[in-house]
Structure formats: structure tokens, C-alpha cells
Homo-oligomer: A and B are copies of this chain.
Amino acid sequence: MDVATAIRDMLVRGAPAIGISAAYGVALGAKQHWSEHHIAWQDYLLRDMEYLGTARPTAVNLAWALKHMSNIVQAMPANQPPFIPLLQEASTLHTQDAMLNQRMGALGASLIHTPTAVITHCNAGALATGGYGTALGVIRAAHTAGNLTEVFADETRPWLQGARLTTWELQRSNIPVTLMVESAAATCMAQGKIGWIIVGADRIAANGDFANKIGTYPLAIAAHYHKIPLMVVAPTTTIDMATPTGLAIPIEERTPNEILHCGTSTIAPQDTKAWNPVFDVTPATLVNTLVTERGIVHHPDANKLAELMDS
């Protein structure tokens, strides 16, 4: 399916955006299969959805959205055109995601009491979600409240989402942003100007460990060393109670070519061996605050997440 290719090739990226795209992809797939096989369209569609689920292994929102859509597909009558109801469902997920982001933005911003600069990693903004953003949603809300002076954005090798997306998105919103290599983040912290580290998440395990873009883990370690609090912003659909700890989160490794080249330039000798894990896992012990649409969890652990998910 084209949507699977779009996710695999990183045309669509960001955990919530991947989930939403997948939901729209299901609607489009249903339209095609209905036109070809009026009777067995559900079987064909569910097979496609299984394939779609393999497109990116780390983010759990994809699996969540597909499970949600799969339940709806299976409950639908086989003899009625499925496209419009599934499209409506995808659109609802999309709108809901943007609303959740607004709510998380307000909750997260309520924790930032005095004007400060913050660091963010990768892009957890409107370009990664249904709109507004998770980490960038908090940043937007804190900026509106007058409590955010500047964002230091990690460039985020190898895909440079920070350089290419976060700077663009924040500049468009007139939020002061300074780009740096992620290697400079610790020095930025040491200079005493950073009040919070604010990031999104691709999957949160039941004990609060979370996977996010490669580079989040060392950022969290450096924040801990400098006693700067780390805020993780993600909807509860990112929490996977079936994943007990971070150890059980599959980490996608992509082609070494992403490291051997930068843009159109070759940056390493031919035949260089390279290792390209694109996510890492940060233990819950390094998380000060998890912000979800259902509320704020300080120092998340298994008990607190179980309580949150039951709420």
C-alpha cells in the first residue's frame, strides 16, 4: 500500500501522524477493495492492514490506530460501501489528536512558572501529529503564556528533523528558535539557561520507560546530570501497557546509507560500516514529568501508569 511506503520512507513521520495517516490509509484501502471485491473486501483490507502495521516497528500509535480501525472494519456490514464511514472515523481520530495536543499543551505549560529557555529534540510538532504538536504544543502554550523565552532545537542526525522541521515550524509561529548540533546540548545546559527539556515519545512502556528519536536518551542523561527536569509529552495512545519495560520495545535500525550521506554529499569513505538505530529508550527514572491528555504524572512508574490508564 502507498501509505505503508510513505511511512517506511519517512514521508510521514512522528508517532501520532503515522497513526492518523494509517487510519486514512485504511479508508482508502477499503474504497479500493470494495470496488474490486464487494464481498470479501474486509479480508483483503485486514491483510493490507497487517502489512501496514510492519511499516515502522517502534511507534505504538500505528498499532493502536490499526487496532482501532480493525475493530470498526470487522464490525461493519460486508454488503455496504465502507469508504465514507471509515473516512469519517479517520477524520475523527485526526481532529481528536489535535484537540488532545491542545489539552496537553495547556497542562504542560502550567508546569513552567517562570520565563525560561528549553531544549527539544527531533520534531514533535504540528508536522508530527494531527496538528499543534505534543512537545511543541507545550512549547506553543508556554510561549503564549509568556513563560518561554527561546527554544534550542537539536538538529537531530541523521534525518535532521530538528534542522528541517522544528526550526521551520517554530519560525512560522514566531517562537524564537536557535538550532544546534545535539552535541552542544550539554554545554547549553551547563550555561544555566535551560529550565526544561521537552520531548515527545514514540512508545511508552507500562513502567514509564519510553522510546523516542535516537538522541533522546543521552539528552535525558545530560539533563539528569545538570538537574534539569525532563518533560515527556504524549497522548495515552502512546502508552502501551502490553510492553512491560523499555527492554521490550523493538528499536528500528535503518540503512547505514542515512549516515554515510548527508543531503547529496557523501560524508564517509566508501564501504564504511555504520550502525543506524533510529530510536533509543530512556528509562522512567530519568523522566520528571509525563504529560498526557488525561493528566500529568510526576516520576512515572508502573503503578502510576496503571492508575492513569484506568482513569
Contact = CB atoms under 8 A, between A and B. Distances in A.
Nearest to A274: B179
A223 to B, nearest CB: 10
Contacts of A155: 157, 259, 267-268
Contacts of A225: 221, 224-225
A181 interface: yes
Nearest to A261: B263
A280 B167 CA distance: 24
Interface of A: 152, 155-158, 160, 163-164, 167-168, 171, 176-188, 190, 214-215, 217-218, 221-222, 224-225, 251, 256, 259-260, 262-269, 271-277, 280-281
Nearest to A122: B183
B259 A267 contact: no
Contacts of A276: 180-181, 184
A188 B281 CA distance: 11
A280 B184 contact: yes
B273 A179 contact: yes
A263 B265 contact: yes
Contact of A264 (B167, B186, B264): B264
B171 A269 contact: yes
A277 B163 contact: no
Contact of A187 (B156, B167, B280): B280
A158 B186 contact: no
A167 B263 CA distance: 20
Given A155-B157, A190-B217, 13 more contacts: A155-B267, A158-B181, A160-B267, A167-B269, A171-B272, A182-B183, A183-B214, A184-B276, A187-B281, A188-B275, A221-B225, A225-B225, A262-B262
Contacts of A188: 275
Contact of A186 (B157, B164, B171, B217): B217
A37 B213 CA distance: 62
A45 B180 CA distance: 39
A259 B155 CA distance: 8
Pick from A152, A251, A269 the residue with the most CB of B within 10 Å: A269
14 contacts: A163-B260, A163-B267, A163-B272, A179-B256, A183-B214, A184-B215, A186-B280, A187-B217, A190-B281, A218-B221, A221-B221, A221-B222, A221-B225, A262-B265
A184 B264 contact: no
Contacts of A217: 186-187, 190
